[in-house]
Amino acid sequence: MKISATIDYSATPHEVFAMLADEDFQARKCAATGARRHTVSISTQGDRTIIVSTRDLPTEDFPSFVKSMVGATLAVTETQDWGPPGSDGVRQGRLTVDIDGAPIDLAGTLSLVPGGQGTVESVEGDLKAGIPLFGGKIESAAAPAIRSAIRVESETGKAWLATRK
């Protein structure tokens, strides 16, 4: 299942990336998604920046067939692997979201480009469930949570940037 989103930030690509690569911002994002527990690590490998967040999310709003497979919480690991900036701050990256104990994951691309109010972040991904016959049903059940997490990141990021102007 395709997942696509754009986030329009009122800041330069350099400012938006500085926010994304800030441990405090990532922690706020995790908390805003309702995580019961989370960890964040940000590192560099050559000219790449790797942002990894893990969070335990409650499953009470999931369909019962999903809860019966994964339990009361989902352990989610999100990895953003960003390349170096261009002279205008444009960046490209890769996104993976792995759900521990569930046969579903998300793999996609990220980009930061000048546009809109200042910077447009694009997320393009493929949500895949590895269960024959039930895969589509699981993808449909998981997609709203992924879209909600992107919306929460957008809201958290806009509030974060507004306090830094």
| Structural domain count, the chain | 1
Q: Would you say 113 and 122 are in contact if contact means Cβ atoms under 8 Å apart?
A: yes
Residue 10: which domain range?
2-162
Q: Would you say 70 and 141 are in contact if contact means Cβ atoms under 8 Å apart?
A: no
Band of the pLDDT at 153, cuts 50, 70, 90? very high
pLDDT of residue 125: 96
Residue range 81-85: mean pLDDT, rounded: 97
**CATH code, domain carrying 80:** 3.30.530.20
Model confidence at 67: pLDDT above 70: no
Model confidence at 60: pLDDT above 80: no
Residue range 13-20: mean pLDDT, rounded: 96
- What would the pLDDT profile of 134-143 be if each residue is shown by its tens digit? 677 777 777 7
To the nearest 10°, report the CA torsion of 8, 41, 164, 28: 80
- What would the pLDDT profile of 110-149 be if each residue is shown by its tens digit? 999 999 999 999 999 999 887 766 677 777 777 777 888 8
Residue range 68-91: mean pLDDT, rounded: 86
Band of the pLDDT at 61, cuts 50, 70, 90? low
CB proximity list for 43: less than 8 A, separation 6 or greater = 49, 50
